Amino acid sequence: MKTLIIQTAFLGDVVLTLPLIQAIKKNLKSEISVLCIPATKNILEGHPDISEIIVYDKKGKDKGIFSLFRLSRELKAKKFDVVLVPHPSFKSGLIAYISNIPKRVGFSNSAGKFFFTDWITFNKNKHQLERHLDLMQYFDIISGNEKTQIYIGKEDEKYAESILNRQDKIFGINPGSVWATKRWLPERYAELSDRIIKMFGAKIIIFGSDNDIGVAREVENNMKEKPINLAGKTTLKQLSALIKKCKVFITNDSGAMHIAAVLDVPTVAIFGPTVKKLGFFPFSEKAVVIEKNISCRPCGKHGPKKCPKKHFKCMKEISVSEVFECIRKFYENKDGYND
C-alpha cells in the first residue's frame, strides 16, 4: 500500500500532522510519502515512518499552473493507492484529483472537498492534532493520541551543545510570528527576559525564523542584559534540539510553540487574536495559555496584519508580571505548572 499525505501549510500544521503519519504506519504498515513546502521539510527529515518527502515550492519556483501539472505527473507516476488531505485548501484537493489517486480523503469543511472520493466530518470541538487523526476513520480505525515524535539527529544535538554550557539555565523566547497581530510587544519580551536573567541567573535564547530577524533584533536592542539571538540562524531540527534544553519556553501562537509542546518542554503561550477553541493551542499537560477575555476575539483563524479595532487590547493587556508569574510556577515546581 502506498499513501500520500498532502500538508503544504505552515510549520505548526505539519507538526500536528505527525501523529497521523505515525498512526498510518502503525496500523496499516503503508509506505508513506508527504508533500510539503520547502520551509517545513527539515522537521520531517529522519522520521522513520516517512518513506519520501516531496517538496512543493508553491510560492516560489513551483508557482503557476504549469508547475502544478508537472507535479501531478510526478505523483501519477508514483501510483499511490490513497491520499489523505488534512490541509483544507482548494489547491490541495485539486492536486489530489489531477494526480489520479484512486482514493482521496479529506475533511467535510475543505474548500476542495468536491475533489475527494470520501470525506470525514470536521469536528470543530477537537484539537487540530485530534482532528487529523480522525482521517483514520476512513480505514475504520479509531486512533488514540499518538505520542508525536520529532527526530533530532546527533549533529543537531552537537550543535545545541556547542552553543550552550552544561550548567546554563536556558529559557527560550519566541517573539515572532507569520501574522503581526500574534506578536506580543517586543519591549515586553525584552523586559520579561531581563527579569528572568535577574531572578533565575538564567540565559535567554531568542528563537525565530528568517522572517523574525527584525523583531528578534528589536527585543535584543531593548534588553539591558545580553541574550543569545539565534533568529534566522538555525534549521528546524537545530531549533528543536535547543528548545529541548529550555527550562521554560515562552512563545506567541506559532509553529515553534507546537514543537515545544511535542518535546514536553514547559511552555507559556501568549494568545492575542486567536483563541484556544480554534483548536491550535499547545497540546501538552506542561503548557499554559495566557489570554484576555475581550469581546472582539478571535478576529480571524490566524490573526490579521493589523488590529481591526485599532486598539490591540488582546496583547497590550497582557502584562510582563503575569507572564513572569506563569514562568515562575513552572520553574519552581518540579511536578510542572502549579496553578
User: What local confidence, expressed as pLDDT, does residue 339 receive?
Assistant: 56
> How many structural domains are present in the chain?
2
User: What local confidence, expressed as pLDDT, does residue 335 receive?
Assistant: 55
- CATH number reported for the structural domain that contains residue 238 in this entry: 3.40.50.2000
Name the strand (E) or helix (H) holding 331: helix 320-332
Q: Which pLDDT band, with edges at 50, 70 and 90, does 336 fall under?
A: low
Q: Is the domain of 175 the same as that of 206? A: yes
The answer as to whether 147 is a domain residue is no
Percentage of the chain beyond pLDDT 90 is: 91
Q: Is the domain of 165 the same as that of 277? A: yes
User: What local confidence, expressed as pLDDT, does residue 144 receive?
Assistant: 73
CA quadruple 237, 242, 247, 253: dihedral, nearest 10: -50
Summarised one tens digit per residue, pLDDT across range 30-65 is 999 999 999 999 999 999 999 999 999 998 999 989
Q: Is the domain of 133 the same as that of 164? A: no
CA distance 35 to 68: 13
The answer as to whether 149 is a domain residue is no
Q: Is the domain of 202 the same as that of 172? A: yes
Name the strand (E) or helix (H) holding 260: helix 255-262
Q: Which pLDDT band, with edges at 50, 70 and 90, does 276 fall under?
A: very high
Q: Which of 113, 139, 165 is the last residue of a domain?
A: 139
Name the residue range of residue 23's domain. Answer: 2-139
Q: 3-class DSSP state for residue 7? A: coil
Task: Tally the C-alpha atoms within 13 A of residue 253's C-alpha that lie toward its C-beta.
Answer: 24
Q: Is the domain of 20 the same as that of 115? A: yes
The shares of helix, strand and coil residues in the chain, as percent rounded to the nearest 5, are 40, 15, 45
Question: Which ranges of 135-229 does DSSP label H, i.e. alpha helix?
Answer: 154-163, 186-200, 213-222
Average pLDDT across the chain, whole number: 95
| Backbone angles phi and psi of 269, in degrees to 5 | -105, 130
Q: Is the domain of 50 the same as that of 184? A: no
User: What local confidence, expressed as pLDDT, does residue 9 receive?
Assistant: 95
Q: Angle 18-21-26 (CA atoms, 0-180°, nearest 5)?
A: 125
The answer as to whether 175 is a domain residue is yes
The answer as to whether 152 is a domain residue is no
Q: Is the domain of 193 the same as that of 310? A: yes
Task: Tally the C-alpha atoms within 13 A of residue 107's C-alpha that lie toward its C-beta.
Answer: 21
User: What local confidence, expressed as pLDDT, does residue 271 receive?
Assistant: 97
Name the strand (E) or helix (H) holding 67: helix 65-78
Task: Centre a 10 Å sphere on the Cβ of residue 193 and count the other Cβ atoms it contains.
Answer: 27
The answer as to whether 151 is a domain residue is no
CA quadruple 88, 94, 99, 102: dihedral, nearest 10: 70
Summarised one tens digit per residue, pLDDT across range 63-84 is 989 999 999 999 999 999 999 9
The answer as to whether 337 is a domain residue is no
CA distances from 187 to 192, 219, 249 (A): 9, 6, 18
User: What local confidence, expressed as pLDDT, does residue 300 receive?
Assistant: 83
CA distance 74 to 56: 11
Q: Which of 139, 170, 198 is the last residue of a domain?
A: 139
Q: Which of 139, 171, 200 is the last residue of a domain?
A: 139
